[in-house]
Amino acid sequence: MMSYKIIVVFLLFMVAGTASAKNSKCPFHILYRFGDGISDNGNSVRVPPFGPILPPTRDPYGVTFPGYPTGRWSDGRLEIDYVAKAVGLPNIVPYLSIDASRSYDGVVFSVAGSTSLNASFLESRGIGVPPFHIPLDTQLTWFRTFLQLNCTSQTAYDGLGCLKAVNNVAVKFNKNLLLSLLALQAEFPNVQILPTDYYETVIAQIKLKMPLGAGRRNPALRACCGVRGRRYKFDIKRLCGSPNVTSCPNPKNSIYWDGFHFTQQVYRNVVAIQIVPALLLLGCTLI
């Protein structure tokens, strides 16, 4: 009989740090959780306008623990609560309840009804989403904002002012992707695969725009379209396109357009540096 291995994956990020600082039982000091209702410990009930009237704001939710509704979609504790207690980091809070004056052992970004894909994509295919729907990319945006506000250690940043932990994920992914493409090339020798490195091309442009000695507060990372007076001109609550949010007079001098995406000039440079040479190798005659 064929045997199977079942691997259960929790979308749970454990960021390494000094364990003794918070009496953690493991070599990391903070937990992050992403997901939907099975790990939402109070975010969905804080999403206006429907959050405050959702079922987990009423009895009998929370009847087992702590005895009243907390925003958890259960009678009591969730898996993240048990994990947090087991590793000695019990103070895990929903992202939308964060008070900047307090410290926490972890943050839950999960929202009930969340999907991996955006609502527009699902609705275009006739799939309905709840009115309090928060897609995964929004949770990741929250995560990025949280890191920008809370990662104050100089060692958390690289020479460009970027968070090393976040960029290392991208670098590792790109390396694994390249290995996969090489394996595909070996499996299908008659198919020509020409990988391009988007990441390194953008990093090179940031280096060119970075003033000498800028360090962590690199102005090259500022958004062209954003809120003046904020670091990097970025405010998650006042995105580009919001009332009174303006753009810079010359976008071609900026790397980031809205804090998430690049300007037209960056895309043009990526094509010139990465795509055009690949097209020429393929024998294309460019217009």
For 128-175, the pLDDT digits (tens) are 877 667 888 888 888 888 877 765 555 667 777 777 777 888 888 888
On the question of pLDDT at 8 being above 60, the answer is no
> Mind listing the pLDDT tens digit for each residue in 99-131?
765 778 889 999 998 888 888 888 888 888 776
Q: Are 69 and 18 in contact (CB under 8 A)?
A: no
**pLDDT: is 29 or 227 the higher one?**
227
User: In the predicted model, what is the mean pLDDT of the chain?
Assistant: 80
Residue 42, pLDDT > 90, answer: yes
Residue whose C-alpha is closest to residue 174's, from 267, 274, 26: 274
Q: How far is CA 215 from CA 28, 145, 186, in A?
A: 27, 20, 42
Greater pLDDT, 121 or 65: 65
pLDDT digits (tens, 9 = 90+) for 167-199: 888 888 888 888 888 888 898 888 878 888 888
Nearest to 96 by CA among 164, 146, 36: 146
Residue-wise pLDDT for 11-20, tens only, equals 444 443 443 4
For 251, the token pair is 């976008």
The pLDDT of residue 155: 63
The two three-digit tokens of residue 240, written as one number: 């580009």
Main-chain dihedrals φ then ψ at residue 230, nearest 5 degrees = -95, 150
Confidence of residue 77 (pLDDT cuts 50, 70, 90): very high
pLDDT score for 98: 86
Residues of the chain above pLDDT 90, percent: 20
Burial of 281 (0-12, 13-18, 19+ CB in 10 A): exposed
pLDDT at 53: 92
Determine the pLDDT at residue 17: 41
148: tokens are: 């920008």
pTM above 0.75, yes or no: no
pLDDT of amino acid 25: 65
Q: What is the pLDDT of residue 4?
A: 32
Output the CA torsion sign for 23, 27, 32, 34: negative
pLDDT at 229 over 60: yes
Helices (H), the chain: 79-86, 119-123, 136-150, 164-187, 198-209, 264-270, 276-281
Q: Does residue 49 carry a pLDDT above 90? A: no
